Structure 1
Amino acid sequence: MQAPRRVAVVGGGWAGLAAAVRATELGAHVTLFEMSGQWGGRARSVSDQSPLLDNGQHILIGAYRDTLALMRRVGADPDRLFLRTPLRLRYPDHEGLRLPGGQPLLSFLRGVLRYERWPWRARLALLAQSSAWLFSGFKCPPGLSVAQLCARLPEPVRVDLVEPLCVAALNTPAERASAQVFLRVLQDAMFSGPGSADLLLPRRPLGDLLPSPAADWLQTQGADLRLGRRAQDLQPMEDGRWQIDGEHFDAVVLACPPMEAARLTQPASPIWAEQARSLRYEPIITVYLRQPGACLAAPMVALHESPSAPAQFAFDHGQLSGQAGLFAFVISGAQAWVDAGLQVAGNAVEAQARAALGWQGAIERVRVLAEKRATFACTPGLARPPALIASGLIAAGDYVAGPYPATLEGAVRSGLAAANVAISPCKTGAKSTTMAA
């Protein structure tokens, strides 16, 4: 009998964990390197904080089928870990667009027609434009921005729907965001099947959703988990295998951040390394505030952004995790506020909470967290690095070439595809690594 293929996965975020689980399922002996002291990558819990907080407030949607399936395979129960509701954009002072359950096209039609806050002209314009996108196969010129794509939509539709969805999904403002990627998100979220647009809001810390269950599952399957271990050197071998710090592997999946992957691949593939190194990023700031006795109109509310009011969404952890009085305010596309400083950002969010939510009295600032490289800047025509770097060397992560923005689902799909190539390189072509639809 042939010995199992030895596969190294470098990076213990959601892409790396997905690759490690899939490779193990396919019979490989997996060694998983993670240079930090915890699993989860950019979607993790902050271990030094009490109460336990996440480094950012994440949202999943019903269309994240590969992520939800992976959670179930490693023993995590999405039905228990998430609050699942139909898509609802609730604002502090009024109900926003809300989609009923059921068949996607009919649900979208009913939701838009029933939204009386928009005049009939705006509702019909959105339905007409959505029909045009549908009949075009959700395709558009690659150089188009979301703002250009939606320029003919009435202002209430752009302000109440397009701009919040764009910054939530792509973490890039509409005037700089890729219209083609945005259309793909709309296609999968709104029109890919019953429940695809549902919001899944975590009831538990991010570490409980996938990172900890996946690491526990891998350990029980005999994988070699090396937490707090950075891969220092990656070299090709004459027999087609790869060597990490002197240790031999049949295949390597690089599921680490792009800059780290570029460092490791520079000697073997300088062109790929330069493409990974050239990516630009958008930060996200999460401001955790405590206001005893306060409660939002919904577990998640949308906020109107302005130059002095930076947060686009607020989350009520009393309704989600039972931590009454704890709230998370999210600033996506937050480069200007990172430049201004986290103290300034925290002050602005407190003022926004008082103005938008009517909070009075003392507000406790629990913590302000910034993920400076939260996502790549999802701009029009962006050329992302391919997943296949060289024979037996595959990149995995939400940044590799593919149709999705930097999302957990994109990371998981990339990891699963990379593992398939690592195990069956002769049967799976390079196209499998691009998360093709």
Structure 2
Amino acid sequence: MKQVRIVGAGWAGLAAAVAAVQHGMQVHLYETAHISGGRARKLPQTFAGHPLDNGQHVLIGAYRDTLALMRTVGLEPEALLKRMPLNLQFANGQGLALPDGPAPWNVLAGIARARGWTWHDKTHLLYACWQWHRNGFICPSDWTVTQLCTHSKLSPSVCEQLIEPLCLSALNTPLHEASALVFLRVLHDALLGGPGSADLLIPTCDLGALFPETCLRWLQRQGAHIHLGHRITAEDMMLPEFQPQPGQALVLACTAREAARLTATQHPHWSQQAAALTHTAITTVYLHCTDKAFAGLTQPMVALHSSAQQPAQFVFDRGVLTQQAGLLACVVSASQGERHDIAERVQQQVAQQLGWLHLSIVQTVVEKQATLACLPDLVRPETCIAPHLFACGDYVRGPYPSTLEGAVRSGQQVIAQLRHL
């Protein structure tokens, strides 16, 4: 029986562990923290009797492997995720909202009905979509999303109200830095990936209950050995059981920084590649609204007009989603600045744009290394570090930005490679 040791119990490590068990491998899973989930996990803090999360994550219907993995461990995504057609509308109703229906007709209808855009805006966007489709959603690899918008002659309104929030939510990288090629790939999978691919899937439970906790229990029932609160050190890497060899593999499913630390001595070239990657932050500001007239947002997720002084792009109604009445989760992608300043600006932003005045800051969560900065022509480390030594995660070489789907696929692909060794 092949034995695999997996370092890291985020979504990539959990996906790898499940795939390894399914193929008859003996699994040892190590996690530094006392809870699993990585950057998509619940927090010890609670509100209204339910946990807060380290960030307000959103999946999309194109996350085929993630949804299939949830079903494998006995979960029903339909019961844990609120599905709604792509909606990027602001509180005043402006912006894009796709009707429920098959692609590309839903896209055409959504653009035609979009409020706040002139017919000039809409026709240029439709023409751009046609061009992208005709070119196979391919563009020069060194283009940024800003260059793509300029080349496609998209109007400032479309860029501000559609392209920017899409780019920040998918790539967590500003338009003038983000890879246009990766952005188009995400658009292709969402818009042309089949029925429901562009739908938003918003968790209606805490992130621990969404997948990691059930996955750990499933793994334990299958005989996997789970080691939470166990940090693997560089010294551990020298022990015989962590030395990759025939019949025994090691998979680093931890962060790029941690993987670089663990491989620095024995595999300096790969370590330097991983350590050189640039990451961007995501800040989630939880606000409690106590206005007497507050009965929730008009929909579970509402877009916000963002700027340097008003940094949040989206606000979520946790009362509707997770039974935490009056709680709003405001997301600042590619965030910069001090925690306190960001929270105060978001508080003022929500009050100004949504009209709610009695807002208190409950918690501010800053994930400084939340995602890979998805830059043009970015060189990402290979999955294979050395014989029988692999890395998986949303930062290794692959077609997707730092998403849960990218992490899950990476973990599964590593085990697929191990099967043939």
Q: CA deviation at 1:248?
A: 9.8
Matched, 1:377 2:376: no
Tell me, yes or no, if the aligned pair for 1:99 and 1:111 is still in contact at 8 Å.
Answer: yes
Distance 1:159 1:113 in 2: 17
The structure 1 segments of at least 4 consecutive aligned residues displaced by more than 6 Å after TM superposition are 245-249
Q: Secondary structure at the match of 1:47?
A: strand
Aligned with residue 9 of structure 1, among 6, 9, 16: 6
One-letter identity of the residue aligned with 1:78: P
1:234–1:178 distance in 2 versus 1, CA, 3 Å = farther
Q: CA deviation at 1:34?
A: 0.4
Q: What's 1:412 paired with?
A: 408
> Quick check: 59-68 or 373-382, which moved more?
373-382
Matched, 1:41 2:42: no
Distance 2:397 2:18 in 1: 22
Instruction: Structure 2: state its 5+ residue gaps.
Output: none
One-letter identity of the residue aligned with 2:14: L
State the TM-score, normalizing by the size of structure 2. 0.95
Q: Secondary structure at the match of 2:146?
A: helix
Distance 2:237 2:228 in 1: 22
Q: What's 1:354 paired with?
A: 351
Aligned with residue 364 of structure 1, among 355, 360, 363: 360
Q: What's 1:140 paired with?
A: 139
Q: What's 1:397 paired with?
A: 393
Distance 1:76 1:374 in 2: 26
Q: Secondary structure at the match of 2:137?
A: coil
Distance 1:343 1:117 in 2: 33
Q: What's 1:298 paired with?
A: 299
Q: What's 1:314 paired with?
A: 315
Distance 1:104 1:144 in 2: 27
Q: CA deviation at 1:271?
A: 0.7
Q: What's 2:232 paired with?
A: 231
Q: CA deviation at 1:116?
A: 4.3
One-letter identity of the residue aligned with 2:59: L
Counting aligned pairs with the same residue, the percent is 48
Aligned length: 413
Tell me, yes or no, if the aligned pair for 1:219 and 1:225 is still in contact at 8 Å.
Answer: yes
Matched, 1:276 2:267: no
1:91–1:130 distance in 2 versus 1, CA, 3 Å = same
Q: What's 1:210 paired with?
A: 211
Tell me, yes or no, if the aligned pair for 1:29 and 1:223 is still in contact at 8 Å.
Answer: yes
| 1:74-89 map, 5 Å | 74-89=73-88
Matched, 1:221 2:222: yes
How far does the alpha carbon of each residue in 1:341-396 deviate from its partner, in whole angstroms, 9 at most, with x for none?
21111111111111001112x32211011000000111111101111111111110
Tell me, yes or no, if the aligned pair for 1:234 and 1:264 is still in contact at 8 Å.
Answer: no
Q: Secondary structure at the match of 2:331?
A: strand
Tell me, yes or no, if the aligned pair for 1:28 and 1:423 is still in contact at 8 Å.
Answer: no
Q: What's 2:198 paired with?
A: 197
Q: CA deviation at 1:245?
A: 8.2
Distance 1:106 1:138 in 2: 18
Tell me, yes or no, if the aligned pair for 2:245 and 2:387 is still in contact at 8 Å.
Answer: no
Q: What's 1:168 paired with?
A: 169
Tell me, yes or no, if the aligned pair for 1:31 and 1:225 is still in contact at 8 Å.
Answer: yes
One-letter identity of the residue aligned with 1:140: C
| 1:13-162 map, 5 Å | 13-50=10-47, 51-151=50-150, 152-162=153-163
Tell me, yes or no, if the aligned pair for 2:285 and 2:365 is still in contact at 8 Å.
Answer: yes
Instruction: Structure 1: state its 5+ residue gaps.
Output: 426-437
> Quick check: 117-126 or 53-62, which moved more?
117-126
Aligned with residue 345 of structure 1, among 329, 342, 346: 342
1:243–1:299 distance in 2 versus 1, CA, 3 Å = same
Q: CA deviation at 1:96?
A: 2.3
Q: Secondary structure at the match of 2:95?
A: strand
Q: CA deviation at 1:234?
A: 5.8
Q: CA deviation at 1:244?
A: 2.0
1:376–1:10 distance in 2 versus 1, CA, 3 Å = same
Q: Secondary structure at the match of 2:104?
A: helix
Q: CA deviation at 1:321?
A: 1.4
Tell me, yes or no, if the aligned pair for 1:284 and 1:331 is still in contact at 8 Å.
Answer: yes
1:249–1:40 distance in 2 versus 1, CA, 3 Å = farther
How far does the alpha carbon of each residue in 1:306-331 deviate from its partner, in whole angstroms, 9 at most, with x for none?
22111010000111112110000011
Distance 1:216 1:37 in 2: 14
One-letter identity of the residue aligned with 2:177: R
